[in-house]
């Protein structure tokens, strides 16, 4: 049993619950929009769960930004003596209660969750392998679902031979590019709002 298997199962369970909710609300259980909304719901839940880590990361980054002038001054003052420079920097960090690595820790703690999300979507859905609550029926349904003529299990680099009959590669590539641009825009806006 892999170390991240429990996390894979939790992510698969949340995805299956959202799919069940959208289906109960009248959406087509095999429809692309049902699966897209289920994935969006899963990502929103994960982002909400990670808010405390994001807050810690932002506070740590702001703390380091506030110390930036003092750090530059120490680096300039002790540029020829690395030992003294390190000692003075550590002293400054202790006095201000700042940890230069605290902004990295939240990123490291988030990684297993995003690995689990990627695993469930790429390994489970794309390869049609059941994971936890995502049984074979749900995995097959997600794999075959389409949005704007593109299977949600396809990627930009999917070869034409791997696409279902009647699916155009151009549809897959256009949908992929639009989604990448949308993700980039929303990430940029979110980061901008968090740093204000």
The predicted-structure confidence for 30-76, as pLDDT tens digits, reads as follows 999 999 999 999 988 988 888 887 777 777 777 778 888 888 888 88
Q: Considering the entire predicted model, what is its pTM?
A: 0.74
Judgement on whether residues 152 and 108 belong to the same structural domain of the protein: no
Judgement on whether residues 19 and 98 belong to the same structural domain of the protein: yes
Q: Provide the pLDDT for residue 108.
A: 81
The predicted-structure confidence for 61-115, as pLDDT tens digits, reads as follows 777 788 888 888 888 888 888 888 888 888 888 888 777 777 677 778 778 888 8
Judgement on whether residues 58 and 133 belong to the same structural domain of the protein: yes
Given a cut of 90, whether residue 134 has pLDDT beyond it is yes
Judgement on whether residues 99 and 161 belong to the same structural domain of the protein: no
For residue 151, the surrounding DSSP H or E stretch is strand 150-151
Computed over every residue of the chain, the mean pLDDT equals: 85
Judgement on whether residues 27 and 119 belong to the same structural domain of the protein: yes
Number of domains comprising the chain:
2
Domain region containing 177: 148-196
Judgement on whether residues 128 and 178 belong to the same structural domain of the protein: no
Judgement on whether residues 116 and 166 belong to the same structural domain of the protein: no
Is residue 55 within 8 Å of residue 71, measured between CB atoms?
Answer: no
Judgement on whether residues 135 and 155 belong to the same structural domain of the protein: no
Judgement on whether residues 152 and 141 belong to the same structural domain of the protein: no
For 18, residues 6+ apart whose C-beta sits below 8 A from its C-beta are 37, 38, 39, 41, 42
């Amino acid at each position: 049993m892999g170390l991240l298997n429990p996390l894979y199962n939790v992510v698969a369970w949340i995805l299956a619950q959202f799919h069940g909710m959208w289906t109960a609300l009248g959406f087509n259980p095999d429809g692309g929009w049902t699966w897209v909304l289920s994935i969006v719901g899963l990502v929103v839940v994960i982002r909400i769960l990670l808010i405390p880590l994001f807050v810690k990361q932002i506070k740590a980054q702001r703390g380091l930004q506030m110390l930036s002038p003092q750090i530059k001054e120490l680096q300039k003052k002790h540029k020829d003596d690395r030992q003294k420079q390190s000692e003075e920097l550590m002293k400054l960090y202790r006095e201000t209660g700042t940890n230069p690595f605290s902004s990295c820790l939240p990123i490291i703690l988030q990684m297993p969750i995003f690995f689990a999300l990627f695993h469930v979507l790429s390994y489970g859905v794309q390869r049609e392998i059941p994971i936890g609550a995502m049984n074979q029926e749900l995995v097959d349904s997600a794999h075959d679902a389409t949005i704007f003529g593109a299977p949600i299990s396809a990627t930009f680099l999917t070869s034409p031979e791997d696409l279902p009959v009647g699916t155009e590669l151009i549809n897959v590539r256009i949908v992929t590019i639009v989604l990448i641009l949308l993700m980039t825009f929303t990430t940029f806006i979110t980061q901008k709002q968090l740093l204000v």
